[in-house]
Structure 1
């Protein structure tokens, strides 16, 4: 098989920058392209299942164009192959807690990636699933009891009183943890809101790709001539999706 020649991946690109993170304008350019790809995948009913910086390649080291690669773990929504998926740092709560998953697990990974591109390091660097969930709770806050009641594997991480089980004795890890709001809001409240909406525990509340492309943080960074066209296209897309859903509802009746 012959493929086009691409450049380094985004993890390597961060390493070249000594893991200092990138300016928000560059992060936004990457984010828009990833969201457009995720929107297309969702239209095709495909879940990538392993979205991470290593699987996003620059087309050219001197430009911001990117492509998503490695669909070896991907599946169709109605034909899921595995229950144990996603690289650990980017693994969504659905996979940890045993909830049926959808394209929304890719949006969780996307939120992790966008934060990492800005901060320079992964939000959830962990050595095990228990440590991963400990970090997710510490950085994002505990999920609601109602959400946990829907999780078949909640007993693995929480006791009968919905309290997080003792997970780690790594004092350095505990000291280093800062809530997401503390890490991002002082730099850009609108960027914090964007990432926070991508990292909602409940996949039904978590922002979808189409919604993310209409978020103020995305819109505010677009050139004026492109902004109008972008908003018109997204409004037409959302209107069409709404019409399709209403039509399906009528057919069901």
Structure 2
């Protein structure tokens, strides 16, 4: 699984070891790219394939996201593929209205670790994962969930119907708000001036990896001394209350096309991040656009509840895949025989009666009841939301609605 998003990863840092031949390019604040056009401001994040920086575009006086790929041949090839996909997306959306990230520029940059492909993307805000965390995993108000769902569906409809592209790694990290949750982190709204040259004696950026490790150790030590390891306790020991999201603009865009493919040229057998993976991918029955629709339903559930819909774990005598299939069936009912027998891996998991071989006792909990019992949804909210989600979670992919059909669903208009 590659995390190569323009948002970068949500983890703390990318580790010092990958700054070597074939690996990341060491960037410092004030470094110039593309003959001085782009100037590095601060690191936004990282993925297995790249680091992502906020940069200032001196030609257009705007801020951009600069994605710098590792230099080894494998990563260069992946970058060329992503540039190809992003170019199609950008060319087909001249008005920039389709809720998908746009590619502004791309070039190569030579450094001590090799030649790195660089992509310049529009600067966007925080990921939906950050938004879910900001709400302390309490779930968002339904009007916000609807707004976000509408944006994602506009993006998917464009990718699927107009371009024939499967995203294949749709998850909350790969959908970014147009702006940052905290205005102070937005380079425009915060009113800060761009850094145009490297600060004196600056090793800022590269050395921050080491600094972060030291700070993290210090934080852990402090937490031990004060006996405060609970994430639900604030700095002064006060339980954190719900955070209001009324003022937050939740318009968003789909990002990270490092794993995307054209529907007629699927790249990999195993796609999607585990929790958002569709059953046809686990069973290896072949896949199409409908894998993205399954992931979309998982995201909608997570936005509304604060929890992932499926978090499989391996156990005594069964695999993570098997647990995943069991969790799906507990929520959605038994898998139809036609689906059960059709995959290259079906025999690994199911017996000839269509039952799981190693997980025998399933506890069924239908989605609407799950929403009322576990998440205190009102009966009507649970019913309406389930009616929207359940068709997307059909075990037969071809029965799932398209993004275009979802956009016409009454639940979206509230």
Structure-1-length-normalised TM-score: 0.80
Please state whether the residue corresponding to 2:253 is helix, strand or coil: strand
Alignment of 1:1-253 (within 5 A): 1-42=119-160, 43-60=162-179, 61=181, 62-127=248-313, 128-167=320-359, 178-184=365-371, 186=379, 187-218=381-412, 220-221=413-414
Name the residue aligned to 1:243: none
Report the TM-score when normalising by structure 2. Answer: 0.50
Q: Deviations over 1:18-39 (max 9, x none)?
A: 1000111110000011001000
What is the Cα deviation at residue 168 of structure 1? 9.3
- Structure 2 unaligned spans of 5+: 1-118, 182-247, 314-319, 373-378
CA drift of 1:59 comes to: 1.1
Question: Could you list the runs of 4 or more consecutive aligned residues of structure 1 that deviate by over 3 angstroms after TM superposition?
Answer: none
C-alpha displacement of 1:122: 0.5
Q: Is the 8 A contact 1:184 1:191 kept in 2?
A: no
User: What SS is found at the alignment partner of 2:143?
Assistant: helix
Which structure has greater strand proportion?
2
Tell me if structure 2 keeps the 8 A contact 1:51–1:90: yes
58 and 96 in structure 1: CA distance in 2 versus 1, 3 angstrom threshold? same
Tell me the SS of whatever aligns to 2:291: helix
Q: In structure 1, how many angstroms separate the alpha carbons of the residues matched to 2:258 and 2:321?
A: 22
Greater shift, 44-53 or 147-156, is seen at 147-156
- Residues 41 and 47 in structure 1, CA contact (< 8 A), matched pair in contact too: yes
In our comparison, the structure showing a higher alpha carbon Rg is 2
Hey, what does 1:248 align to over in structure 2?
Answer: none
Q: What are the superposed Cα offsets for residues 135-187 of structure 1, whole Å, 9 maximum, x if unpaired? A: 11111111111222323322122111111222499xxxx88x84313123723
Unmatched runs of 5 consecutive residues or more in structure 1: 222-253
User: How far apart, in 2, do the equivalents of 1:19 and 1:76 lie?
Assistant: 34
- How far apart are 1:55 and its partner, in Å? 0.5
